[in-house]
């Protein structure tokens, strides 16, 4: 429909104006989004340029995004009747072009910051920089994925939970076969251990669980998998210096990983000294080792040139009448190249309906993120009184306890800081991990794990028992020669 066809027909004219109003709202929103993105990219680009100049003045000075940003002309003649979408089209295309140029510029600067200045090839032109690898090690990714180097707030504001969310909160187990296996194992344990198990007086991590209700991965895999939201957030956090923005990005990368980590099948317990090595999608090297058998403690070290994540997970698990609570008393520490350090505690996982009712998973507890340089603290409480159990809220406060900003969300939907969306399950894609079993002690070399992956459950159970018997023997030898 156009204005010329509608001008003599009031009904058509009314429809035409309604259509133009809809287009206006849509284009205005689109225009605002691009303007916000370009403005943020310009700010980040300036900050990155300053850092890159310190590392490689000559090369960084050659990279200039301003030459790619052309001024638009406002003096062109317009036809008498022009649709609103055509009026906005040129400006939006201009902003798209600016956004692309700025992203390329930021990518180039990040490459400089992630390369040893001695390795720079002076023969490269600025146009050739974007495709160059960060380093020459064969086992690392060639470049940081450009799609995850620049964080952009998500233009959404709805109260969203994933469609499979349980009516009272958390995630339900929908696979009836897995549920049947878990419940059959639970009944076996009750027969063997008795009342201690149901009274919560028994630590489930100290008993051997049949492999038929386990996943084809170890606790070390799950430990490293907890970092799969580092690339979308910590790469950017490492390229800026704003402590509050860094805190928001760290909180997001940690709290919002819960959804991707949710599982009902138990991971295989690693033996003492078992290791795991992998490479995260952004090129970060990931190391994990089982440093204690009882209690089970897994240490990890994740190294990227823009961030470092270290710490340990220490799990205990206790059963109630119809539930199992897994408590992680571990710690995570985030360190950046400028010496900025932020740490956090870990929380609890609750599995309800272990014997009857709907089997479901939820997260509980208070999470505290502490800035050791500036004194800022973020406290988040998961499980709110008047909301479904998967919701959480909290504040970031300064060293004097004054509230800087508020956080609200659900670990199966979204996270907002002062109404600005930092994570939305519909928009953010977690990073992948490429596991490389380069040591004999690597989890990938376990016979029971290999057999379980092939679906040979009975054979995997035999292999698991052999490994556990060997570990018990080793422990006796250690206690014999080192009793204290």
| pLDDT, tens digit (0-9, with 9 covering 90-100), for 141-162 | 333 344 455 678 899 999 999 9
> Could you tell me which residue, 139 or 451, shows the higher pLDDT?
451
The pLDDT tens digits of the residues spanning 231-289 come to 989 999 999 999 999 999 999 999 999 999 999 999 999 999 999 999 999 999 999 99
> What's the confidence (pLDDT) of residue 196?
55
> What's the confidence (pLDDT) of residue 243?
97
> What's the confidence (pLDDT) of residue 54?
60
Average pLDDT over residues 296-312: 97
Report whether pLDDT(75) > 90.
Answer: no
Which of 47-61, 198-212, 350-364, 394-408 has the weakest average pLDDT?
47-61
* Contacting residues for 59 by C-beta, under 8 A, at least 6 apart: 52, 112, 120, 129
| 214-218 and 433-435 strand pairing | unpaired
Contact 56/120 with Cβ under 8 angstroms? yes
In whole angstroms, give the CA distance from residue 453 to residue 425. 28
Distance of CA 382 to the CA centre of its chain: 17
18, exposed or middle or buried, with CB in 10 Å at 0-12, 13-18, 19+? Answer: exposed
> What's the confidence (pLDDT) of residue 131?
37
What length is written for the chain? 484
Indicate if the alpha-carbon torsion angle 162, 165, 169, 172 is positive or negative: negative
Model pTM? 0.69
Q: Can you say whether residue 4 is alpha, beta or left, with left for phi > 0 and alpha for psi between -120 and 50 degrees?
A: alpha
366, exposed or middle or buried, with CB in 10 Å at 0-12, 13-18, 19+? Answer: middle
Partners of 287 in beta bridges: 277, 301
- The whole-chain average pLDDT of the chain stands at 80
Query: What residue spans define the domains of the chain?
Result: 3-134, 171-445, 446-484
Average pLDDT over residues 96-103: 66
Report whether pLDDT(71) > 90.
Answer: no
What torsion, rounded to 10 degrees, do the Cα atoms 82, 88, 91, 93 define? -100
In whole angstroms, give the CA distance from residue 459 to residue 467. 13
CATH class held by domain 171-445: mainly beta
Neighbours of 349 (CB within 10 A): 22
Contact 219/296 with Cβ under 8 angstroms? yes
């Amino acid at each position: 429909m156009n204005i010329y066809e509608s001008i003599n027909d009031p009904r058509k004219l009314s429809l035409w104006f309604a259509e133009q109003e809809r287009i206006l709202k849509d284009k205005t929103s689109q225009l605002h989004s691009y303007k916000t993105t370009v403005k943020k990219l310009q700010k980040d680009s300036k900050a990155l340029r300053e850092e890159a100049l310190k590392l490689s003045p000559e090369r960084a000075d050659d990279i200039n995004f301003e030459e790619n940003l052309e001024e638009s002309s406002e003096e062109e003649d317009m036809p008498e009747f022009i649709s609103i979408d055509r009026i906005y089209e040129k400006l939006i295309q201009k902003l798209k072009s600016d956004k692309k140029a700025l992203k390329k510029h930021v990518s180039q600067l990040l490459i400089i910051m992630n390369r040893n200045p001695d390795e720079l090839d002076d023969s490269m032109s600025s146009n050739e920089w974007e495709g160059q690898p960060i380093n020459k090690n064969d086992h690392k990714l060639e470049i940081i994925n450009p799609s995850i180097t620049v964080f952009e707030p998500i233009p959404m504001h709805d109260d969203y939970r994933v469609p499979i969310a349980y009516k009272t909160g958390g995630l339900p187990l929908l696979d009836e076969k897995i549920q049947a296996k878990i419940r059959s194992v639970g009944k076996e344990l009750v027969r063997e251990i008795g009342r201690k198990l149901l009274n919560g007086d028994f630590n489930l991590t100290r008993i051997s669980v049949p492999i038929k209700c386990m996943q084809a991965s170890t606790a070390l895999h799950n430990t490293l998998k907890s970092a799969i939201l580092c690339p979308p957030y910590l790469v950017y956090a490492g390229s800026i210096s704003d402590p509050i923005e860094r805190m928001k990005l760290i909180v997001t990368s940690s709290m919002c990983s819960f959804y991707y980590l949710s599982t009902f099948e138990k991971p295989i317990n690693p033996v003492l000294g078992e290791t795991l090595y992998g490479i995260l999608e952004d090129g970060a090297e990931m190391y994990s080792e089982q440093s204690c058998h009882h209690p089970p403690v897994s240490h990890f070290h994740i190294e990227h040139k823009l961030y470092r994540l270290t710490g340990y997970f220490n799990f205990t698990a206790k059963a109630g009448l119809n539930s199992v609570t897994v408590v992680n008393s571990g710690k995570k520490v985030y360190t950046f190249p400028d010496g900025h350090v932020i740490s956090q505690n870990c929380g609890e996982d609750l599995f309800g309906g272990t014997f009857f009712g709907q089997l479901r998973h939820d997260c509980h507890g208070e999470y505290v993120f502490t800035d050791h340089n500036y004194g800022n603290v973020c406290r988040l409480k998961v499980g709110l009184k008047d909301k479904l159990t998967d919701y959480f809220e909290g504040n970031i406060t300064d060293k004097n306890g004054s509230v800087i900003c508020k956080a609200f969300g659900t670990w199966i939907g979204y996270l907002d800081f002062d109404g600005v969306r930092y994570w939305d399950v519909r928009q953010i894609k977690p990073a992948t991990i490429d596991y490389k079993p380069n040591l004999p002690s690597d989890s990938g070399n376990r016979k029971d794990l290999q057999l379980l992956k092939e679906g040979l459950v009975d054979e995997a159970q035999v292999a698991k028992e052999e490994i556990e018997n060997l570990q018990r023997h080793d422990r006796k030898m250690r206690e014999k020669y080192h009793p204290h």
